Amino acid sequence: MTRLDVTVASLASEAKPLAPSFGLEFTNKQLATLVSEQFDELYSTLVRHKLLIFRKQDTSPQQLMQIAERLGEVQRYPFSSGIEGFPEIVEIRKEPDQKNVFSGVWHIDSTYLESPPDFTLLAAKQTPEVGGDTVFADSQKAFAALSEGMQKFLLSEKAEFISNKIQEAGNKAPHLVNFTDIAMANTFFSASHSAAKRHEESGIPGIYVNAEHTSRFTSMSAEESAPILDYLFSHITRDEFTARVRWENETIVLWDNRGLQHHAVNDYYGQLRVMHRIIVRSAMR
Structure-model confidence comparison of residues 210 and 177, the more confident one: 210
The yes-or-no verdict on residue 151 having pLDDT over 70 is yes
Average pLDDT over residues 103-123: 96
| Percent share of the chain, pLDDT over 90 | 80
Q: In whole angstroms, what is the distance from residue 67 CA to residue 70 CA? A: 5
* The pLDDT of residue 160: 98
The pLDDT-based confidence of 264 (bands split at 50, 70, 90) is very high
Q: What is the mean pLDDT of the chain?
A: 92
| Percent share of the chain, pLDDT over 70 | 94
Q: Kindly report the three-state secondary structure assignment for every residue of the chain.
A: CCHHHCCCHHHHCCCEECCCCCCEEECCCCHHHCCHHHHHHHHHHHHHHCEEEECCCCCCHHHHHHHHHCCEEEECCCCECCECCECCCEEEEECCCCCCCCCCCCECCCCCCCCCCCEEEEEEEECCCCCCCEEEEEHHHHHHCCCHHHHHHHHHCEEEEECCCCCCHHHHHHHECCECHHHHCCCCCEEEEECEEECCCCCCEEECCCCCCEEEECCCCHHHHHHHHHHHHHHHCCHHHEEEECCCCCCEEEEECCCEEEEECCCCCCCCEEEEEEEEEECCC
Determine which of 71-85, 96-110, 170-184 has the lowest per-residue pLDDT on average: 170-184
Please give the angle made by the CA atoms of 204, 207 and 210, to the nearest 5 degrees.
150
pTM recorded for the entire structure: 0.93
Show Cβ contacts of residue 227 under 8 Å, excluding neighbours closer than 6 positions: none
Asked if residue 276 lies in contact with residue 59, where contact means CB atoms within 8 angstroms, the answer is no
